[in-house]
C-alpha cells in the first residue's frame, strides 16, 4: 500500500528469501528450511541482502517490512546507511497483541505474484481469491502454521522487542496501534510519512 500510495519502494528480507527459494538459487536452498521452521536466517545473510537491495533501490527513499529484527541487524544497518550517506528518518513500530497476530496469520492470504496480503475473512476475497492489483492467485503461505508462529513470536519477544529502546534513543521511533483495521492503521502510517516528507 505504501508503494502504491507514495511511490516508495518496500521490501522485506522474507520476500527476498522466498523469491530466492522459488527460483531454487543456492541461497534459496540454503535458507528454505530455516524459513519453514520459523527461525531467523543469520544476520550476515540478511545484512548482505539488505545492503545489495539498498544499492539498487534505496536512492529515493525506502521502507523495510520486518527488518531489522535484531540489534546486530539494526547496528549494521546504521553502518550501511552511513557508508551510503543516507539517513534513517523514521521507524514505525506497529504494536500488535499476540492474539491479534494469531488471528491474522490463521487466515492470511498472500498474492503469489506481487506479495499483496489480505485475510480469508474478507468478503471481497472469500469467493474469488484473486489479487485486486495484479490478478495473481491469493494463497496461504506454507510457513503459516501454529508451530512456526509460536517460534516467531518467541523470537520477536526476545530478539526484536529490544529494538524499540534502540530507536527511541535515536528519537526516530513512532508507535501505532496495529490491532485496528487495515484502513485505520494505514491512515496513521500515511500521516507519519507525510509529516516526515513535509519537514
Q: Does 80 have pLDDT greater than 90?
A: yes
pLDDT score of 38: 67
Higher pLDDT, 161 or 58: 161
Q: Give residue 148's pLDDT.
A: 80
User: What's the whole-number mean pLDDT along residues 76-80?
Assistant: 95
pLDDT at 120 over 70: yes
More reliable by pLDDT, 92 or 140:
92
pLDDT in tens, 25-63: 888 888 888 777 767 788 888 898 888 888 888 777 889
* Residue % of the chain over a pLDDT of 90: 35
Confidence check: pLDDT of 124 > 90? no
Q: Rg for the chain (alpha carbons), in Å?
A: 17
For the entire predicted model, the pTM comes to: 0.76
User: Length of the chain in residues, anyone?
Assistant: 199
* 49 or 91: which leads in pLDDT: 91
The number of C-alpha atoms within 13 Å of 168 and in the hemisphere containing its C-beta is 7
Q: So what's the pLDDT on residue 98?
A: 93
Mean pLDDT of 167-187: 94
Q: How far is CA 28 from CA 16, 78, 106, 188, in A?
A: 9, 26, 25, 35
DSSP 3-state of 64: strand
Count the alpha carbons within 13 Å of 13 in the hemisphere toward its beta carbon: 24
Asked if pLDDT for residue 181 goes beyond 70, the answer is yes
What is the reported pLDDT for 9?
A: 86
Higher-confidence residue: 23 or 175?
175
Amino acid at each position: 500500500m505504501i508503494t502504491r500510495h507514495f511511490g516508495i519502494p518496500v521490501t522485506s528480507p522474507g520476500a527476498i528469501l522466498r523469491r530466492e527459494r522459488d527460483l531454487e538459487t543456492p541461497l534459496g536452498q540454503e535458507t528454505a528450511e530455516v524459513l519453514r521452521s520459523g527461525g531467523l536466517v543469520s544476520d550476515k545473510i540478511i545484512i548482505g541482502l539488505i545492503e545489495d537491495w539498498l544499492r539498487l533501490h534505496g536512492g529515493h527513499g525506502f521502507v523495510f517490512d520486518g527488518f531489522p529484527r535484531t540489534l546486530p541487524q539494526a547496528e549494521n544497518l546504521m553502518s550501511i546507511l552511513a557508508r551510503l550517506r543516507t539517513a534513517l528518518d523514521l521507524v514505525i513500530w506497529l504494536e500488535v497483541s499476540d492474539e491479534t497476530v494469531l488471528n491474522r496469520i490463521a487466515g492470511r492470504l498472500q498474492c503469489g505474484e506481487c506479495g499483496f496480503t489480505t485475510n480469508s475473512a474478507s468478503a471481497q476475497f472469500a469467493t474469488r481469491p484473486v489479487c485486486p492489483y495484479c490478478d495473481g492467485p491469493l494463497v496461504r503461505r506454507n510457513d503459516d502454521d501454529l508451530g512456526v508462529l509460536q517460534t516467531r513470536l518467541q523470537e520477536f519477544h526476545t530478539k526484536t522487542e529490544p529494538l524499540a529502546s534502540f530507536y527511541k534513543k535515536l528519537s526516530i521511533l513512532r508507535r501505532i496501534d496495529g490491532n485496528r483495521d487495515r484502513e485505520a492503521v494505514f491512515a496513521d502510517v500515511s500521516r507519519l510519512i507525510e509529516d516526515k516528507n513535509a519537514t
